[in-house]
Amino acid sequence: MPQHTFTAVVQDKPGVLVRAATLFSRRGYNIESLAVAPTGRPGRSRMTIVAHVEERAIGQLSQQLAKLVNVVEVLEPAPR
């Protein structure tokens, strides 16, 4: 499986990180790297998740990530 990077802007609320990680693990995808850092806007953080994901599942995972509570925006993964 190829490696893909997912980026999301999230609200600084408890549980956001756990919900995002659970989304990937429930679907059987192992997260290789996960980083969260504050943005220039108060109350917002950028979450970057790197995982080996099948090509056919990229769009679906992005949409499901966008539907999570406290996720403001999901940036589409760059093609490799």
| Domain extents in the chain | 3-75
**Superfamily of domain 3-75 in the CATH hierarchy:** ACT domain (3.30.70.260)
Distance CA 37, CA 57 (A): 26
Distances (CA, A) of 29 to 3, 44, 52: 11, 26, 7
Distance CA 73, CA 78 (A): 15
- What was the pLDDT predicted at 80? 58
What are the tens digits of pLDDT across the range 30-68?
A: 999 999 999 999 999 999 999 999 999 999 999 999 999
Q: Which of 73, 77, 80, 14 is nearest to 39 (CA)?
A: 73
What are the tens digits of pLDDT across the range 3-40?
A: 999 999 999 999 999 999 999 999 999 999 999 999 99
The tally of CA atoms less than 13 A away on the side-chain side of residue 46 is 10
